[in-house]
Amino acid sequence: MPEASASIPGVTQESGGAGRLESVQMEQNIPLAGFTTLGIGGPARWFATATTEDDVVEAVGFARERNLPLFVLGGGSNLLAGDAGFDGVVLHMALRGVQREGNVLKAAAGEPWDAFVQQAVNAELQGIECLAGIPGTVGGTPVQNVGAYGQEVAETVRTVRCFDAHTSTFVELTNAECGFAYRTSVLNSSQRGRYIVTRVDYALHAGGAACLKYADLRRHFGDGAVPSLLLVAEAVRTIRRGKGMVIDAGDPNSRSAGSFFRNPIVKADVLLKVSESSGVSEDAVPHWPAGDGLIKLPAAWLLEQVGFVRGYVMGRAGISSRHTLAVINRGGASAADVIALREHIVQTVQQRFGITLEQEPVTLG
C-alpha cells in the first residue's frame, strides 16, 4: 500500500518549540530495512515513533529546529528506501484507535489496514471489503487513493485529519479537498510534503451489498451469487495470496512493495502504436476508457510483451513468480539492485511502445 509518506524540508518551515521538553523519543542511526516490506534501506539519522498527535508536533519541531528534512513512515509497504539511508528525521506513525459514529469509522493513521477492513466487514459496513489483504496502515490510504478489485478509498473517505506543516495546525480535509484521482490525491501531488495524516474517517454503508465489479471476484463466486461482506473480504485475500500480494514471511514473493508500476493512462491514439509494436490487433490490446479521450493500459501486459515475465531474475532483484508487477527482493538485494531492474524495465517499455512507466512506491534517499 502507499505510504503515509511525505518529505517535509525543515528549512522551509518556521522554527518553533525552542526550549520545549520533548517527550517523543528520538533514536539515532536506525536501519530502515526492518520497517519496509521490501526489506531494503539504510539507516535513518534520526527516528521517532509517534503514538499521539503531540508526538507528531514535537517531531516536526525537532526537524525544523535543526533544519533537517522529515519523512513520514507508515507501514513501509509502498517504500523503496535508499542504501545510504536518510540524513534527516523519519517519523514512524503508530497512532492507534478506531471509533464508530453511526456508519462512520474514524481510524487513527497507525491502524493496520487489513485489520481495519476486517472490523468494517464484521460490523456489516460496506465500502472497503474489496481492499482486504492490502498491507500497510490506514494513514497511507488517502495519500495515494488506494484501490483494488473494483473499489478505491475515494468512494468512502469523508475527512482526513492532518497536521498542516505550513500553518502548524491540525486541519480536516474533506473528500473534495483531497482531490482524489487514479492513485493520487493532493497529499502526494500538489500539496506533497505539507500534510501529515493522523486520522481518516470513512463513511460506509450499513447492510450494503458487497462490490463484485472485478472479474476475478465474479469468477470466484459464480454468476448470480450474493456473498456476504465477510466472504468477499476473504475471497480477496485468497486471490491476493495466490498472487503473492499478502505479506507472508514464508513466501519470498511477498518481499515486495506491491505493484511497482502504475497502469499508464495515455491518449487513445497510442493504442495503435501499441497494437503495431506488439503485433496484435487494437481489440486484442487490453485497455479501458479513462475519460477525456484517454485510455488506461495494464502495465503488467506491457511488461510481458517485452519479456519481463513472472519469475524474471536480474541479480538479487526480480519479478514475482506470481505477479508481473511485483518487483521483489530475492534475498540480500539493495536499493541499487531494484533501481537497476526498474530502469531496465522502464527503458525497454519506452523503446518498444513510447510509453514511460511510472513507479508506484515512494523512493526515500
Cite the active site residues.
183, 259, 360
| Half-sphere exposure for 78 (CA within 13 Å, toward CB) | 30
Which helix or strand (DSSP H or E) is residue 256 part of? Answer: strand 256-259
The neighbouring-strand residues paired with 8 are 70
| Half-sphere exposure for 81 (CA within 13 Å, toward CB) | 30
Give the three-class secondary structure for 141.
Answer: coil
List Cβ neighbours of 17 (8 Å cut-off, separation of 6 or more): 57, 58, 61, 65
| Pairing outcome for strands 362-364 and 79-81 | parallel
Residues in the chain: 365
| Pairing outcome for strands 26-31 and 43-50 | antiparallel
How many angstroms separate the Cα of 183 from the Cα of each of 3, 154, 155, 214? 12, 10, 13, 17
Which helix or strand (DSSP H or E) is residue 240 part of? Answer: helix 229-242
| Pairing outcome for strands 195-203 and 317-319 | unpaired
The neighbouring-strand residues paired with 125 are 206
- 15 burial (CB, 10 Å; 0-12 / 13-18 / 19+) is exposed
CA nearest to 353, candidates 308, 289, 291: 308
Strand order in the sheet with 294-296: 265-267, 294-296, 288-291
Q: How far is CA 265 from the centre of its chain?
A: 18
